[in-house]
Amino acid sequence: MALANHLLSSRFELEDYSRRRAAGIFYGENRMLCRLLGDYLAFVDTHDFMLAPRLVLDGFWEAWVTLALGRYIQPGFHCVDVGANYGYYTLLMAGARERGGRVLACEPNPLLAETYVPGNLALNGFQDRVEICQKVIGNRNSEQVDFVLHHGDYATSSLERWAYPHRSENIQVPAISIKPAHCWRITCSSEGLSGSRSCFGIASARAITSCWMAR
């Protein structure tokens, strides 16, 4: 399944196409069904006032990162989505990599990892292309680390050291590192990531595409 032309063209075309095809349907139980990038179906949570409204109304998130991933990923690539959230970039990676590759969606937030990511993969028939990792990705393995949730703002959940003042809950989640031996090409989309290549232990990876949040 090759990516559609608007995912490989210009920022204007991607945003225009996505907005024209954007739609939202309330499904009850705090769930809204929307169309992402004009092609993919996804549920978002109505308690989320940060990312969900933009996905429902615009149908895209960070067009420049979306285009970079769409242009770079090739069939057979091994991709890692660190901080998968609803699986926006995970869906794009799964659609682009076709046969022979692998996508690892890492999301420590239990609600997202157990409900939204697997549900959105199933909606698009990608469940056999993606492995979900409900862990924090860092520079070392650890049985448990402190992870901070921000209810109403699913985009900024983070490790304790980078937590925002509007925190609402602290949970314990396991952490792992990703070594170069595990995959030889990694395209990493990172929402709310603070760190660098060394943070992942993948300095020899072919490419890392990140969304950095200024602090």
205 in Cβ contact with 185 (< 8 Å): yes
CATH number of 62-212, picked from 3.40.50, 2.120.10, 1.10.10, 1.10.287: 3.40.50
The 10s digit of each residue's pLDDT in 28-80 is 999 999 999 999 999 999 999 999 999 999 999 999 999 999 998 888 888 99
pLDDT band at 1 (very low <50, low <70, confident <90, very high): low
Vertex 188 angle, CA 183 and 194, to 5°: 125
Mean pLDDT (the chain, rounded): 82
- Residue spans of the domains in the chain: they are 62-212
pLDDT band at 92 (very low <50, low <70, confident <90, very high): very high
Side by side, the strands of the sheet bearing 24-28 are: 24-28, 31-36, 40-45
Residue among 66, 74, 124, 119 at smallest CA distance from 99: 74
